[in-house]
Amino acid sequence: MGRFFTGLAMGLLTICQPAFAQKVTLSSLSAAFFEASTMEDRAAVEAQIAALAENDNGARFLMGLTEMAKTLEFAGQSMTRHGYGPDDPDIMFILPPMMLMTGEQNASPEPLDYETFRAILVELDNRLAGVIAILRAVEPDDEFGVLLSLDNAKLNFSGDGNFENKWPLLRVLGLLGANDPSDRKSPKFAFRLDNADAIWLEGYAHLMRAGLNFWLAHNFETTFNVSFHALFPRAGLPMQGVLTPEGDERPVQWASVADGISLVHTINWPVVEPERRQAVLTELMTVTRLSRENWAAILAETDNDREWLPGPHQPGLNPLTGGEVNQQVLDGWFQFLDMSDALLSGDLLLAHWRLPGRGVNLNRFFTEPTDFDLVLSLTGPGIAPYLEEGPAVDQTQMRAFNNAMGRGGLGFFAFWFN
C-alpha cells in the first residue's frame, strides 16, 4: 500500500511539474531580462519568452512588458544620441516624461533637426502600437503571476550595448514621481504582476500614444527651431550659436525663462495630420475604458500578494509609490472617470475662465481639428470654434476631486492609476 501511495504521489508530481516549472520560468525570465548585462544575454531571454508566448498567457504578458521596456529604452537612446541634457532642469517640462529617460551625458552628440525629431516620435508611436497588440492577446480570464523585482533592474539608455552601471529602472521611476529609490530604508521593490496589470500596462501605452499623437497632429517646426536648443544644447539646432555663444556667462535660469517664453509664443501649430488629433480622442477614451476593466479585475482578486496596484480589500502601503488605496479614493476615481467620459463624449463641457455659461466641447476639439494656438486658446479666441452653452466642469469641481482623493490628490493617483 505504501508503494502505491508513493507511486501515486510521484505520478501527480510528474503531471503537475510543468505547471510549477513554468511559473518559476516566467519569473526567472523576468529577472534575467531586466537584470541582463549584455544585449546577447537579453536576446537569448527574449527568444525563450517568445517561444513560451505561443501557448502561455503569462508569457504573452511578459513579452508585452519587455517590449514596453525596450520602447522606453529607444526613447532614452534617441535622446542620448542627440545630446539631451538641458543646463536648467526646470526646462525638462517641455517633453513628455517618457522622453526624459536618458543615459550618461553624450560628449559628442549627433546633429538633430525637426524631421529627425519628428521621426523619433513616429517610431515611438509605432512601437507603442506593437506593445498594445501584444497585450491585447493576453486572455483576461486565464490567470497568471509573474514576479518583477526592480531592485537590480537596469535599462540601457546610452545605446552602447552594455547594461552595467547604467540607469537602474528605479531611478527612472523616481523621475516620474515615485518613491525616492536612493532611500536606503525603502523596502524591496518586488511585485507579482497578474491579469489586472496587463490591462493597466495597455492603458498606459494608450495614454502615451495620446500625447505623441497630439504632437504629431501638428507642425511644431518653428517651436523646435527657436527653443529646443535648451534641451539639446550641442546638437546643432538653429539658435545654438546665436543664443548660447561660447563663453556666455549669464545666469542659466534667465536664459531658460527666455527660451520658455519663445516656446509658448510659438505654439501656434498648423494641423498637418488631422487623423492623429482624432486619434488622441480615441486613445483617451480607451484609457478610461481600460481603467474600468482594470479595477474590475483588481476587485475580483482574492489574494494580496505584492500588488502593483492594490484594491481597498488589499491593504498596505505600496512600496514604490508610498500610497494606499481605500474606498474613498476608489469612489473618487470612478467619479473622475465618469466626468472624463462625459468630457470626451461632449456631454459635458470644459469651462473657460473668461466665458461664464459656456464651455469647450473637447469632443469637437479633437474631431474637428483647427490650428492650435496655446495663448489664444487661453485668452479665448483660439478656442472660440468649440464653445457651446451647457453644463461645464470648472476649477471648483476639480479642486473638490483633488481634495476628496486625500494624500497626493488627483494628480498622484492619476499617475499611478492612469
The pLDDT tens digits of the residues spanning 289-331 come to: 999 999 999 999 999 999 999 999 999 888 877 778 999 889 9
CA angle at 173 for the pair 169 and 179, rounded to the nearest 5°: 120
Residue 209 amino acid letter: R
Cell readout for 62 is 511578459
Q: Is the pLDDT of residue 177 over 60?
A: no
Q: Is the pLDDT of residue 387 over 50?
A: yes
Confidence of residue 276 (pLDDT cuts 50, 70, 90): very high
Check residue 262 and give its pLDDT.
87
DSSP letter at 358 equals E
Report how far residue 57's alpha carbon sits from residue 303's, in angstroms, rounded to the nearest whole number.
19
Report how far residue 225's alpha carbon sits from residue 237's, in angstroms, rounded to the nearest whole number.
7
361, 386 contact by CB (below 8 A): yes
Exposure string over 27-58, b if 16+ CB within 10 A, otherwise e: bebbbbbbbbeeeeebeebbebbeebbeebbb
Tell me the mean pLDDT in the region 65-94.
Answer: 81
Report how far residue 199's alpha carbon sits from residue 64's, in angstroms, rounded to the nearest whole number.
11
Report how far residue 112's alpha carbon sits from residue 23's, in angstroms, rounded to the nearest whole number.
45
Check residue 3 and give its pLDDT.
43
Q: Is the pLDDT of residue 185 over 60?
A: no
Average pLDDT over all residues of the chain: 84
Burial class of residue 164, CB neighbours in 10 A (0-12, 13-18, 19+): exposed
Confidence of residue 268 (pLDDT cuts 50, 70, 90): very high
SS3 state of residue 396: helix
The pLDDT tens digits of the residues spanning 211-236 come to: 999 999 999 999 999 989 888 888 99
The pLDDT tens digits of the residues spanning 324-352 come to: 899 988 999 999 999 999 999 999 999 99
377, 383 contact by CB (below 8 A): yes
> 22 pairs with which residues across the strands?
none
Check residue 14 and give its pLDDT.
38
SS3 state of residue 149: strand
Tell me the mean pLDDT in the region 63-92.
Answer: 83
Confidence of residue 107 (pLDDT cuts 50, 70, 90): confident
Q: What's the Cα-to-Cα distance from 384 to each of 277, 352, 373, 389, 391, rounded to whole Å?
A: 18, 10, 11, 12, 17
Nearest Cα neighbor of 82 from 101, 107, 60, 58 is: 107
Q: Of 356 and 99, which is predicted with more confidence?
A: 356
Cell readout for 410 is 488627483
Q: Is the pLDDT of residue 22 over 80?
A: no
The pLDDT tens digits of the residues spanning 354-374 come to: 888 899 999 999 999 999 999
Nearest Cα neighbor of 105 from 227, 232, 225, 230 is: 232
Nearest Cα neighbor of 102 from 111, 89, 115 is: 89
